[in-house]
């Protein structure tokens, strides 16, 4: 009896799981109460990028910078059965050649939900937003060892620039520089 | 007689030129009436970067995006004898690891004024601004063949990231993508 029920459950769960796999996520603009879910996704990506200790932000920072009076970013979230399972976080930049552009800072789908098209849904929604607002270019960064991501971007019509490098200086280095160059 | 005057002029001009070479530029925040000078510098840099035809902006765009009600960038200019001879153009970005950052889009000194420290003056003023405003990181891009620039940045304490690539999609590619992914 127990066996039969378990067997039935397994069939049911398998059916249910396949139905979930086929489901499209709901893509919507993030609100302040998504801050905790957004931070969880950011931490998950940092772990994937092998720098889990690099995330210095806490939930109140996400609230403050994303949903205050002058937001520093916009965020779209992918929701599945009332759970945020992915996000696209971006903000305006300015090209002195082209004019206003958007920068996609993070495109994240939680590990167990990968491979079901939610990343593509978020990516498309971001491109739609940018295009509708008339920005002349969108851009983002990718790790050169993340070959699946590079292939995905190139297949979508994006170009990976080969001759540009990113330069960064953190607050401590800024302080050191200023002390030496008064 | 003409020879003597010319000789005297040459000495005078040489003295005068050396004095100019020693002069520090005045660094100030750009205003709307600098738009024409800013655009000239942008075009000069595009020529140096071997893409002179890539500058699509016109003077009114600089005015609109830089000095309108919601500016998309800030700009410091270096002025020498009432002439703008360089600029540092930057805007806020947001790191999901660190929080608010600044992006230095362009650091330009007009060709004939190079090598006299005006670039360093602008660079220092930008770093001072960013540090005083409490941003956690500044960043920018550099062409990998621009070795003097890379050395300058590294000597100043900045780090050139080796494993990140920039990905871009222009408006036409966005349009094509959206047509295929409805």
Per-residue pLDDT band for A138 (boundaries 50, 70, 90) equals very high
The answer on pLDDT for A3 being more than 50 is: no
Residue B3 vs residues B7, B10, B14: alpha-carbon distances, Å? 6, 10, 16
Q: What is the ipTM of this complex?
A: 0.87
| Interface mutation vs chain B, best among A174, A176, A179, most B CBs within 10 Å | A174
Cβ atoms B39, B32 nearer than 8 A: no
CB contact (8 A) between residue B99 and residue A61: yes
Given B54, B72, B138, which is nearest A174 (Cβ)?
B138
CB contact (8 A) between residue A97 and residue B173: no
Nearest CA in chain B to A108: B96
From A12, A123, A153, A177, active-site residue? A153
Query: What does the block give as tokens for B59?
Result: 């003077």
Taking residue B95's Cβ as centre, other Cβ atoms within 10 Å add up to 22
Q: Provide mean pLDDT across the span A21-36.
A: 93
Q: Provide mean pLDDT across the span B140-169.
A: 96
Q: Mean pLDDT score of chain B, rounded to an integer?
A: 91
Nearest CA in chain A to B61: A99
> Which of residues B7 and A88 earns the better pLDDT score?
A88
Domains and CATH numbers, chain A: 25-176 (3.40.630.30)
The answer on pLDDT for B166 being more than 90 is: yes
CA diameter of chain A: 82
CB contact (8 A) between residue B141 and residue A56: no
| Strand, helix or coil for residue A74 | strand
Given B73, B145, B169, which is nearest A94 (Cβ)?
B73
Query: What does the block give as tokens for B31?
Result: 């205003």
Q: Which residues pair with B26 in a beta bridge?
A: B79
From B17, B113, B131, B153, active-site residue? B153
Whole-prediction pTM = 0.87
CB contact (8 A) between residue A96 and residue B103: no
Size of interface A-B (CB pairs under 8 A): 217
Given B106, B142, B171, which is nearest A136 (Cβ)?
B171
Angle formed by the axes of helices B35-48 and B59-67, nearest 10°: 110
Q: Provide mean pLDDT across the span B78-96.
A: 97
Nearest CA in chain B to A128: B178
CB contact (8 A) between residue B158 and residue A169: yes
CB contact (8 A) between residue A92 and residue B103: no
Q: What is the pLDDT of residue A23?
A: 85
Chain B CB contacts of A136 under 8 Å are 56, 170-171
Give catalytic status of residue B177 as yes or no: no
């Amino acid at each position: 009896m127990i066996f039969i029920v378990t067997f039935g459950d397994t069939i049911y769960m398998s059916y249910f799981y396949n139905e979930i796999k086929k489901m499209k996520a709901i893509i919507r603009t993030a609100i302040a109460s998504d801050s905790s879910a957004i931070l969880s996704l950011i931490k998950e990506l940092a772990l994937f990028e092998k720098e889990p200790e690099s995330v210095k932000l806490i939930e109140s920072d996400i609230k403050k910078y994303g949903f205050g009076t002058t937001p520093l970013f916009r965020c779209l979230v992918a929701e599945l059965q009332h759970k945020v399972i992915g996000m696209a976080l971006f903000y305006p930049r300015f090209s002195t050649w082209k004019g206003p552009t958007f920068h996609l800072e993070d495109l994240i789908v939680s590990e167990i939900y990968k491979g079901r098209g939610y990343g593509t849904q978020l990516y498309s929604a971001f491109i739609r937003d940018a295009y509708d607002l008339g920005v002349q270019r969108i851009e983002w960064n990718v790790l050169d060892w993340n070959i699946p991501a590079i292939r995905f971007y190139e297949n979508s019509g994006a170009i990976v620039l080969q001759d540009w490098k990113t330069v960064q200086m953190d607050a401590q280095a800024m302080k050191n520089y200023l002390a030496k160059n008064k």
